[in-house]
Amino acid sequence: MDNLELWRQAAQDVFWYERPSIVLDSSRAPFNRWFPDGVTNACYNALDLQVKLGRGEQAALIYDSPVSATKRQYTYTQLLAEVARFAGALVDRGVVKGDRVLIYMPMVPEAAIAMLACARIGAIHSVVFGGFASNELAQRINDATPVVIVAASCGVEPSRLVAYKPLLDYAIDLAAHKPECCIILQRAMLSAQMIEGRDLDWLQVMSETEPVGCVSVEANNPLYILYTSGTTGQPKGVVRDTGGSIVALKWSMKAVYNVSPGDVYWAASDVGWVVGHSYIVYGPLFAGCTALMYEGKPVGTPDSGAYWRVIEEYKVSVLFTAPTAFRAIKKEDPQGQQLAKYDLSNFRALFLAGERCDPHTLGWAQAKLEVPVIDHWWQTETGWPVCSNCLGIEQLPIVAGSPARAVPGYEVRALGEDGSAVAAGDIGALVLKTPLPPGTFITLWNAPERFVEDYFITFPGYYETGDAGYIDDNGYVFVMSRTDDVINVAGHRLSTGAMEEVLFDDEDVGECAVIGVADPIKGQVPLGLLVLNSGVTTPYDTIIARTVKLIRNRIGPVAAFKLCTVVDRLPKTRSGKLLRGTLRKIADGDRWSVPATIDDPTVLDEVALALKRIGYPPNH
Ligand code: COA
Ligand code: AMP
């Protein structure tokens, strides 16, 4: 079946106020538009339709929070009632179709309610991950210019309460744009100080409003903006449209994950990431499944049996998480003794994504769980899997180290620098043939030029993923590394360029480099190399501690920036380009050679010595 026919048929499976007569408009490529004359509503497809189809009494959303000792469930009817009411509260605050609403919340059901409420009234939500600090939040406030910000008083990390409200207040102080109001969910464990005239209490606004219905939304109207890391400190606002998202996500729930209405589907991620948007909230609800929101960690809340407990308790069919979670579990329970305590008879498949899945972790999960363990590859930009073993179509042999083949709708190629295809098995830039399928990003918010320049210029006719890898003779894709300055820390995508921009702000730092080095649990962690200004007398330890704090305060704890050292010089090419690849190899203990383009080879020995002093490469 050709792509147009595939998506024409998939579109018949969703609710439209006005059915699209056109499948794809590619007249303004790469700004392609799927189902341009369709009119629909994402919240209607997620909730109202499900109730209409008889799922009103089925659990729509299960909330399990070991960190706050809370468990709660919403049927489709109950979730619809909450969402319609919160949508009413937004309308009362003057929010109309096309307005932005920023959501800065931990993993609480109210985050999903706020997202769906925006969709209900055609407002565009932008969820910001709670692990980002005020500065990052301020950047997003300025770019998205929200009318309303929805937040919670706090998040709960195993070791501490994270007071969100002071972070939000400071972000609003920093931002040039000011929201009309903030709606704050006061959590029992920490009450936030409210600002008179600006802040409103979630419970109060809910008690004073009336539920509202869905507004009709043109298929290409944005459903949401989700900021993600690029090479610079300015995050990219990935824009996803409404119609394409509904069609692609609903289709993927069956084709990729092989789940059906009534199945319990659990994506153990966070609403602040793309996985949270696609597979904690929208995908499972579009498909009539039961979505699961887990506020906790794979280990330590309370132990490494946490995931198995949840799978047993709610009869989870499919779990989706990042390999890092399994590395953390494996480290604490290498024999899988916790597993033996739980009944996992309903569990059918584990999906992993967010970072490269090392064959060792894959093998361990396969051996312990005895269900298919599926590595699949995708990005914030694509919104849903590019390569996967599609369990709802045909299960292919699992090959460790590969997310299998392209999912229908995508065509993946590995290209050389000259733009021609490399031979099977040779590394190249991984690219996707355009047009990209529905549900992928349609532009970058406020940055259509960057959308074209960052993704569609280098390889005409293709979307550049930013990943490098190879495709074998069987069409299996192997994603090996990024081609840019993005690193993956515990499945979280971070920009080393953004960290360097922050380090430059330290008064003693003259030059710096941040690279991603291998970490046994998190996959990668950032490591900073600082060259100090001449004449600096401050002790190195003081400067290092200060820069670690600076990144935590400016980017957030999620950056996990804890490794840093001072060097005299950085290795560069004669044209002044930093030799990041060589630096990374030295730190990881991989074989490295002196690049022909290097300006002064002796710098490499100096850097190797400095890294050795802080334990890199580790001896194991
Ligand atoms: N709000 C505030 N702070 C947060 C946060 C949030 N929502 N999420 C994380 N943080 C903080 C953590 O407390 C930690 O701070 P610390 O330096 O004071 O300890 C820091 O950000 C890093 O967090 P995290 O990446 O979660 O590391 P961790 O050491 O706490 O836990 C894992 C490591 C592997 C257990 C954890 O990353 C994990 O469960 N990952 C798998 C699931 C996942 O998140 N996948 C994402 C993509 S699918
Ligand atoms: P994000 O946009 O945060 O989802 O991060 C996307 C990036 O994570 C991709 O470009 C890859 O670098 C990496 N990634 C995601 N899934 C995989 C996978 N299965 N294998 C290898 N890398 C992956």
* DSSP helix/strand/coil, 440: coil
What's the CA-to-centroid distance between 260 and ligand 1, angstroms? 31
What is the per-residue pLDDT for 619?
A: 80
What's the CA-to-centroid distance between 361 and ligand 1, angstroms? 19
What's the CA-to-centroid distance between 353 and ligand 2, angstroms? 6
Contacts of 286 (CB under 8 A, 6+ apart): 14, 45, 46, 246, 249, 250, 253
Q: Which atom of ligand 1 is nearest to the CA of 297?
A: 39
User: Is the Cβ atom of 323 under 6 angstroms away from ligand 2?
Assistant: no
Q: How far is CA 269 from the centre of its chain?
A: 8
Q: Which atom of ligand 1 is nearest to the CA of 522?
A: 34
φ, ψ dihedrals at 170, nearest 5°: -65, -40
Rounded mean pLDDT for each run of 10 residues along the chain, 620 residues in total: 94 98 98 98 99 98 98 99 98 98 98 99 98 96 98 96 98 98 98 98 98 98 95 90 98 98 98 98 98 98 98 98 96 96 98 94 96 98 98 97 97 97 96 98 98 98 97 97 91 93 96 95 96 96 97 96 97 90 94 90 95 90
Q: Which residues pair with 443 in a beta bridge?
A: 239
Ligand 2: which residue has its CA nearest to atom 3? 493
Among the bound ligands, name the one nearest to the CA of residue 477. Answer: 2
Q: What is the DSSP letter of 436?
A: P
Q: Which residues pair with 200 in a beta bridge?
A: 183
What's the CA-to-centroid distance between 149 and ligand 2, angstroms? 29
Among the bound ligands, name the one nearest to the CA of residue 520. Answer: 1
Token pair 């069987």: residue: 474
* Burial class of 210 by CB neighbour count within 10 A (0 to 12, 13 to 18, 19+): exposed
Q: Which residues pair with 529 in a beta bridge?
A: 513, 565
What is the per-residue pLDDT for 233?
A: 79
Ligand 1: which residue has its CA nearest to atom 2? 131
Contacts of 487 (CB under 8 A, 6+ apart): 493, 494, 495, 496, 515, 516, 524, 526
Q: Which atom of ligand 1 is nearest to the CA of 157?
A: 13
User: Is the Cβ atom of 41 under 6 angstroms away from ligand 1?
Assistant: no
CATH dotted code for 495-613? 3.30.300.30
The answer to whether the beta carbons of residues 382 and 249 sit under 8 Å apart is no
What is the per-residue pLDDT for 249?
A: 98
Concatenate the DSSP letters of all residues of 117-186 into one string. Answer: HHHHHTPEEEE--TTS-HHHHHHHHHHH--SEEEEESEEEETTEEEEHHHHHHHHHHH-SS--SEEEEE-
User: Is the Cβ atom of 157 under 6 angstroms away from ligand 1?
Assistant: yes
What's the CA-to-centroid distance between 186 and ligand 2, angstroms? 34
pTM as predicted: 0.96
What is the per-residue pLDDT for 320?
A: 98
* Burial class of 393 by CB neighbour count within 10 A (0 to 12, 13 to 18, 19+): middle
What's the CA-to-centroid distance between 134 and ligand 1, angstroms? 17
> Going by DSSP bridges, is the β-strand pair 222-228/486-489 parallel, antiparallel, or unpaired?
unpaired
What is the per-residue pLDDT for 618?
A: 92
Exposed e or buried b per residue across 309-348, where buried means at least 16 C-beta atoms within 10 angstroms of its C-beta: bbbbebebbbbbbbbbbbbbbbeebeebebbeebebeebb
What's the CA-to-centroid distance between 356 and ligand 2, angstroms? 7
**134-144 and 540-554 helices, crossing angle to 10°:** 40
Ligand 2: which residue has its CA nearest to atom 11? 355
What is the per-residue pLDDT for 620?
A: 61
The answer to whether the beta carbons of residues 60 and 74 sit under 8 Å apart is yes
> Going by DSSP bridges, is the β-strand pair 70-75/59-65 parallel, antiparallel, or unpaired?
antiparallel
